[in-house]
Amino acid sequence: MPLLLLLMLNKLTKTLTLEEKVIEIQKGNIELLNEVINDYKPFIKKSVSSVCKRYIYDQDDEYSIGLMAFHEAIMKYEPNKGSSLLAFSDVVISRKIIDFIRKNQREKAVPNLFSGEDSDEGNKASLFELEHAMNNFREQEVAQERKDEIVEYTLSLKKYGLTFQDVVSQSPKHEDARQNAISTALLIADNPIWMDYLKKKKRLPLKQIEKEVSLSRKTLERNRKYIIAIIVLIDGNFDYLQQYMKERFDK
């Protein structure tokens, strides 16, 4: 590479934020891609280790998957979605590692039922072990899917300036107040015009809403964060969290 071009690239790299570097990479800057991946190898290892619950070495398959997942995250990252690159990358890396672990668990969970053993007792034992292993695997899979949903939900809330802790702290204290807030959220989620306003402005069209509900403007403003959090939950693919909300709402 010519010295002048190299100096210009170095100057550009020093002045760009990580998100700005990603934009340059997505335009085809391979040198910058290699630099970013190399600089963030400790981050990748930390993300992989947090899922695997152990230290990750360069020669581990999980580390290679983490590198590829980080590269994928860089190429798919969209700054206007609200989350930072590192937050987005952490989700992508976690999903890829979880998929890898699940695949290995499936292979280990299935015993060899065709080993040539003719014993009925042996076959019954193998079938019992298979059923037990698959039940355990499914329980672990469901638990992980719930964790993944919470991560996704947290990222979705961030677009509206909310955190998961806000949802807990802003939840109305009285049951009837919670039910009213949830009913209002359902009404808003079913109104395309209001939803479009919320997604664009990142706030509720309170003036229009108060004309259609029995709640006062003051009550709507007080429960604003909780209502938005419920709308985000309804509008997303959060099956486990939605089921939990439905069970609470039906009580």
- Single pTM value for the model: 0.48
Kindly report, residue by residue over 97-138, the tens digit of the pLDDT: 888 888 777 665 554 444 444 445 544 555 555 455 556 656
- Cβ contacts of 246 within 8 Å, gap of 6 or more: none
Helix (H, G, I), strand (E, B) or coil at 29: coil
Q: Give 156-200 pLDDT, tens digit per residue.
A: 888 899 887 777 787 888 888 888 888 899 999 999 999 999 999
Residue 102: the pLDDT is 80
Average pLDDT of the chain, as a whole number: 79
User: For the chain, which residues make up each domain, given as ranges?
Assistant: 40-158, 164-250
pLDDT of residue 132: 58
* Per-residue model confidence (pLDDT) at position 137: 57
